[in-house]
Structure 1
Amino acid sequence: MPTYLDRILEGHRAAAALDTRPLAGLAEQAAAVPPARGFAAALRGEPGLSVIAEVKRRSPSKGPLAPDLDPAAVARDYQSGGAACLSVLTDVEWFAGSAQDLVAARAACRLPVLRKDFTVAPADVYDARIMGADAVLLIAAALSAAELSDLLALAGRLGMDSLVEVHDEDEAGVALDAGAELIGVNQRDLVTFEVDRARAARMAALLPDRVVRVAESGVGGPADAARLADAGFDAVLVGESVVTAADRAGAVRALRTPAGDRRSA
């Protein structure tokens, strides 16, 4: 049975197959961009639980969330609330995002920014750096083990971090074998699109101390964030609950746990 991810990836892989731009030209453009802000370093440097706050206009499951948002204003709100990093959706068809959203959000703040999209080819990684992204999302379920390893290495050569997203134990093993140091556990089921809020806690113990652990999806408020911090996560990636909040800075601030000793990464 096709999942929502299968349908999204079909379009992205078709677009990648039609992309005839020489990689050498993209590499030259990427090399001319100022150095990336350290995404993983920002998460490691935060006391307590770090928050990656997301600029998100819509979702496939919920529809429009904040279609008329101003990405620069949202980025400033998130920074004011104590977010360690930003995540910006750039997928157009399913999330109504754009590269322009990322450029505007990053220019408005000093935070490192993740390009949240469906990375399937080297050109996607180059494009992320060219638009100013400091990190890329690599979804283990969307890539072969060889693709994951190659794209992870390419991002590293360009000075970017990679958030490797996993959904189960097998994918976590593939991510670790590829050398991922920043792993996100997505609690959303790829078939049903339902959120399993126990998934991240079950998987936290599988990730070694060298990994920065990020919990994704199903973080509705401080109670969820506290539970994930107690399970051993270093950060949460939060979209819907903060982007739809009347007080976005306050919503981010409420997710942060009190400062405390963090394990070395």
Structure 2
Amino acid sequence: MILDDLVDATNKRIKDHESRIPLKELQTTAKNLKTISGFKTTLENPGLHVIAEIKQASPSKGIIVEDFPYLQIAREYRNAKVDAISVLTEPHYFHGKLTYLREVSEHVPTPVLRKDFTINEYMIYEAKANGASVILLIVAILSDQQLEQYRNLAESLGMDAIVEAHDESEVHRAIKSGAKIIGINNRNLKNFTVNFKNSIHLKKLIPNNILTISESGIKTQKDVDELRDAGFNAILVGETLMRSTNKEQLIRQFKKVE
């Protein structure tokens, strides 16, 4: 399965990172850095919020865009007043880099999500040390104990955590872990098929006091309006924006801002 390969590749990558920058050194750097806060607070405000993603490739689509001026894209997102920017840092399947995360966070005063397959505490400190305000915790690859422990660690460092679920069982686990923000992924990470209606179905299982984000497969204004009507607090949009020739206009349209 693709997800197993991604986790294996991440394990090897992080071991290499730790051989070059020990955990203690990374912890010191992370604790001395301030984060751009306010992500969770923003999601609590009325309206449908937009998390705009920066990514060049994916396992299902291959290269999405050849031209990849990531800082220019980040500035376009900022100009469109997105509520957060998601940056892929997984290199083997998504062509991501930690450099992208660090530079975007340095150049744009918008909360930045490290989009990666968080498998241990090292990656959380690494996210903070490279400017992330938000991390992603994927229920499918973590134990119940890890979900709670890693979210608490992120919050202790001044970050927020999106706990991502794909099916009913994972949603229940996310709730049980104490998640404050749940992302519903319309993409099955085991085979990368997409079912847009997954968000609508699973949203009904989540208590109103937990913030919700719909992720993947969001393409049209109709999709966005349907998610707004379903009560989502935010959407995470990647490929649709990366392929757009006018990202600012599309974001404003999604947010219904003239």
Same fold (TM > 0.5) = yes
Match of 2:53, SS? strand
Between the aligned residues of both structures, percent identity stands at 36
Larger helix proportion, structure 1 or 2?
2
After TM superposition, give the deviation of residue 197 of structure 1 in Å. 1.1
After TM superposition, give the deviation of residue 252 of structure 1 in Å. 1.1
TM-score, normalised to structure 2, is 0.94
**Aligned partners of 2:134 and 2:121: how far apart in 1?**
14
CA contact (8 A) 1:214 1:234 kept: yes
- Does 2:23 match 1:42? no
Runs of 4+ aligned residues of structure 1 deviating over 6 Å after TM superposition are none
CA contact (8 A) 1:186 1:200 kept: yes
After TM superposition, give the deviation of residue 66 of structure 1 in Å. 2.2
How far does the alpha carbon of each residue in 1:71-97 deviate from its partner, in whole angstroms, 9 at most, with x for none? 221111112223111100011111111
How far does the alpha carbon of each residue in 1:73-123 deviate from its partner, in whole angstroms, 9 at most, with x for none? 111111222311110001111111111111222223221010000100100
**Aligned partners of 1:152 and 1:249: how far apart in 2?**
32
1:8 aligned partner: 6
- Does 2:160 match 1:161? yes
2:174 aligned partner: 175
Q: Which runs of 5+ in 2 are unaligned?
A: none
Match of 2:35, SS? coil
CA contact (8 A) 1:77 1:249 kept: yes
Match of 1:14, SS? helix
CA contact (8 A) 1:114 1:137 kept: yes
Structure 1 range deviating more: 139-148 or 63-72: 63-72
After TM superposition, give the deviation of residue 10 of structure 1 in Å. 1.1
After TM superposition, give the deviation of residue 132 of structure 1 in Å. 0.6
**Aligned partners of 1:187 and 1:30: how far apart in 2?**
32
1:263 aligned partner: none
TM-score, normalised to structure 1, is 0.91
Q: Which amino acid aligns with 1:29?
A: T
Q: Which amino acid aligns with 2:180?
A: E
Q: What pairs up with 1:28-107 in 2 under 5 angstroms? A: 28-45=28-45, 47-107=46-106
Match of 1:51, SS? strand
**Aligned partners of 2:87 and 2:166: how far apart in 1?**
21
Name the CA shift for 1:254/1:31 in 2 (closer, same or farther; >3 Å): same
After TM superposition, give the deviation of residue 38 of structure 1 in Å. 2.2
Structure 1 range deviating more: 124-133 or 99-108: 99-108
After TM superposition, give the deviation of residue 236 of structure 1 in Å. 0.4
Q: Which amino acid aligns with 2:29?
A: Q
Q: Which runs of 5+ in 1 are unaligned?
A: 260-265
After TM superposition, give the deviation of residue 205 of structure 1 in Å. 1.2
How many residue pairs get aligned? The number is: 256
How far does the alpha carbon of each residue in 1:173-226 deviate from its partner, in whole angstroms, 9 at most, with x for none? 111111110110001123331111111000111111111100000100211111
**Aligned partners of 2:257 and 2:107: how far apart in 1?**
27
**Aligned partners of 1:39 and 1:97: how far apart in 2?**
22
Structure 1 range deviating more: 58-67 or 17-26: 17-26
Aligned Cα root-mean-square deviation (Å):
1.7
Name the CA shift for 1:169/1:257 in 2 (closer, same or farther; >3 Å): farther
1:262 aligned partner: none
CA contact (8 A) 2:182 2:210 kept: yes
Q: Which amino acid aligns with 2:252?
A: R
**Aligned partners of 1:112 and 1:188: how far apart in 2?**
24
Name the CA shift for 1:223/1:141 in 2 (closer, same or farther; >3 Å): same
How far does the alpha carbon of each residue in 1:157-177 deviate from its partner, in whole angstroms, 9 at most, with x for none? 111000111001111111111
Q: Which amino acid aligns with 1:140?
A: V
CA contact (8 A) 2:36 2:109 kept: no
